[in-house]
Chains A and B, each alone.
Chain A
């Protein structure tokens, strides 16, 4: 076990709490910077996709994992980011300006969607966001002059001035850079007042209000910020897939995003990364699985969404804290070895509210 001597409150505020963390994150950073030397273009592409998922996941995690508002419509923000970016690029806007505008527009739409959603929680909110995503999908298919309708639209190659960002190594670094920036922003948010206000709302609205937190404002803000991150991911995704069509942003994508934050571990940014790896690599795994299955089974339509759904349900039942929660348990097992006791992570049934009522 590690005991840290604290001599200043700053130590509880730092992003890296101790030398060990700094070392391991540094090592991870170096590995990611060097990986283009060893990985093939295909795997770099897959990693870029994982980064993009992670950026979108940060957005959804802030909303669902930290503010406690479930969204089943986040594919819509991905779509808004992607289409806006592609459209502005086609109009000749420079790449950085276009990606910024796409992010801001998505964020604005998110905030507007947040307003009617203020009075809803849980399943009602999930259904409302789902409805919103369906509306966006309809708009994408029918607003032909901008989106190209069902035919879709091609996305211009990314470049800043004459410097092309298109080859897989540069694009990989672009995604890595933006992901790092997003993580930095999200971590900062979570260690300051606004982030704490969001978690307060998740845990108890009534007491958040009594602490002076404006529910409507904070929830709208959470929606806006969340949609911004996801929209930003969308504009990167546009380049990754190269050609936008309404069916790139279906309900299945929304579910995948939700799956990502739940499987990764709600209420942790580590969880976003684990979740993104999981979602990014799962299709590869499923493809391998398909090859080994007898054809009769492998050809079942809807196999993929079925397996996604199954995993979601299993995680919710057996490991509600997701991959990250599981990892924490494994780690504390080794740290405390041989003193680990089986019930360490069992929640004590501390008390039931009704038992203490009178």
Chain B
């Protein structure tokens, strides 16, 4: 809960020295409460008061960073229940399970998949984020060796080290110095030793409760001991119970500002079913509904790709239209006789149009105009995608050097612009294409350069 001005006032020195720029501590407190001042402006505030004030102003779900360098992953920091209310901040991290009792070949194969199963999509790289390494062999040396292997073979991907035995974890942490993994799981029994390890290695701690109450107990204790890099597991291992648990944690954190649950979560679809297809649906559920980390039993392109795209969709900022950059996009190796089509730079429009051109199997040049992320119809209505702007794009893009013909296809919705565009683009013939992306393949199949 944010503190009131009076509550803040009680934490200040109350000497009214004026060094903060206002004459009294009370005035300063009021400014702080209103977000109009920074605590650092008061040179006399005590460490204890500082800690209390920071605690009170921390986000309702703390952001937690796991890993170091390139492979670092940030989760949590969420402020809303529904993405349309603002946006979701940090995409659910997707982790692949590796057990240290798997054969070396199996481990190598998994790490190979982790490295190679990545997909480029409109300038974004979609890929899995973490490896969750489970100490199943019980042998500290083996666990440490596999940890080092995972670290090396993934180029330092963020890790979850899974064991409830601090000595095992200690050995692995020595093998991967500076890797700052998530240590899972903390129980009320091993809590002190785990906290010590986390402090020594700048690791974060994954609380493992058998119930939400157990998770709260451990997390409260960690908070009391000053630990803030916490990830929560309330222990639910069925789809329905886990869904309920995720909603419960998110709501308690946001609606009640309940600190012990104000942390990102870790969810284990890999423990909820043996059927990999079903596991994918469970994982999708926790990408949409509040999972901080989702641990998958394995990676397969046919399930990983849909999940990565689902995550991209859910974590897109709803307030900002997705945009593609302006320019010429060759689709399917076009040559100087291939058709030229023009469209807006709203990502969805670009996806659909480029996808349909691909479906048509007719190689083409797609000219994308920067319409500030607006769709064809909206951009046209706003005067941002009209004869003038298209003519300017055709001229500056240099498309005339790529093709020998002089025909350009505009979206059906822009039919009214064709006359004006022909006036602006001397020597070009303007063709009116279909209104709907779905009709592009039929249209292109009948297209003639000559």
Partners in one complex: no
Residues on B close to A: CB < 8 A?
none
Residues on A close to B: CB < 8 A?
none
